[in-house]
Each structure stands twice: as structure tokens, then as C-alpha cells.
Amino acid sequence: MDHVISGVARFQNEVYPAKREAFAKLANGQNPEVLFITCADSRIDPNLVTQTEPGELFICRNAGNIVPPHSNETGGMTASIEFAVAALGITDIVVCGHTDCGAMKGAIAPEQLDNLPHVKEWLGHCRSATEVVRHRHGELCKDHLDEVTCENVLQQIQHLRTHPAVAVGLASGNLTIHGWVYNIASGEVLYHNEKTGAFEPMDEAYRLRLLRQADEANQA
């Protein structure tokens, strides 16, 4: 804990003074463009991976980067998604999974979670992902971890589409959803290519395509 407290002191004495003007603007409100939904895993740092500054990402984190389907029962994810899209005017949503995900390991072998009942119930939101992968192979085991991780991102995107604010944003063309998977060991980020159906490495072509889509949206 000492290094955490020391970090606060360094922030206050070194980092904050260098960015005082930016923080002064943020003190009066936020205007992020991206809702970034990712895992609570301590190895994931959305701002570090995306090289973004405070105020640029509206971040939601939980075990397994899960988005429960919309229901009349209010939850933290439901409220956060609604606020980000309907109140903040988010234009892009990223659902980002990652390699070596403990939540996905639990989803593959839920029988090992009997002593963690709340975790086991939460990971029930991943069942569609595990069942899709099981159907492909006729079985499900730890060797399918990466495939389940990718499929879970896609299934959570499907859940995301059930949220009214998101549905409105998609229908109006004001909102775009992206599926990513971050490789902790290599630093590589894969994105879901809707045309090929595969997760592919981010490259310059991907960046340019996003810029073109943004320009088209601004001109519409």
C-alpha cells in the first residue's frame, strides 16, 4: 500500500501541476466520446492501452467485461450505459476482452465456482458464449479459452444492443459499437471485423476506416 500512497503524492506534486489547465477544464464537466467496457482485471489499463487522457474515456469495468441484457431491474451497468449514451452523447462503445481472463476460465468451468456463488451467477451472462463454442467443437475445455474470450465479446455486444439508449443510437446512426480483445503478453489489440467475422490485428487500414466513418457521420 505504501507505493499507492506515494503515487498519490507524486500525482499531486508532479503530474497534476503539469496538467493543471486540463484538470481545470475537467472540473466543470466531462465530454468523453467513447464508452469503454472492459474487465476489472488488474492487468488492464484502458488509458494506457489507448494512450488517452482523463476525460476521454467513460470506463465501465467488471469481471468478464459483461453487459447484462436490458431488463426492468436497475443495475450499475444498465445505469452507466444509459447515462453514457443518453446523457453524455457517447458516439462509440468499445467492448474489450483480454487474454488469460479469469472470468472466462470460470465461465468454461462453472462447477469450480461453487464457493463463489455471486461470481458464478454473474458469469451466467457468458453462457451464450460458452455454448456457441461448445457447439462448434462438441465439447468445451480450457484449450478454448481464447475462442471463448472472443465469442464473449460478441455476445456482450448483442446484450448491449438490447439497451434502449443504445438501440436508439444505432438506429439513428449516431453510435458505433466495437469489439476488441487485448493480448496482455504481446500488447496486440485485435478488433472484430464484421465483414470477415474474425478478430484481426489493428492496423493503419483499420484506423483510416474509422476516420472515414467519423467524417461520413459528421457530414450526415
Question: Binding site residues for Zn(2+), as ranges?
Answer: 39, 41, 98, 101
pLDDT of residue 177 exceeding 80: yes
pTM of the model: 0.93
Mean pLDDT, the chain, whole residue set = 94
Q: Tell me: the pLDDT tens digits for 85-96? A: 999 999 999 999
Question: Binding site residues, as ranges?
Answer: 39, 41, 98, 101
Beta carbons within 8 Å of 32's beta carbon, 6+ residues apart: 55, 56, 57, 58, 84, 88, 90
Cα(49)–Cα(44) distance, integer angstroms: 8
Q: Tell me: the pLDDT tens digits for 12-60? A: 999 999 999 999 999 999 999 999 999 999 999 999 999 999 999 999 9
Backbone angles phi, psi at 42, to 5 degrees: -65, -15
Can you state the angle between helices 127-137 and 145-160, rounded to 10 degrees?
Answer: 130
Predicted confidence band of residue 61 (pLDDT cuts 50, 70, 90): very high
Cα(87)–Cα(142) distance, integer angstroms: 41
Domains and CATH numbers, the chain: 1-29 (no CATH), 31-219 (3.40.1050.10)
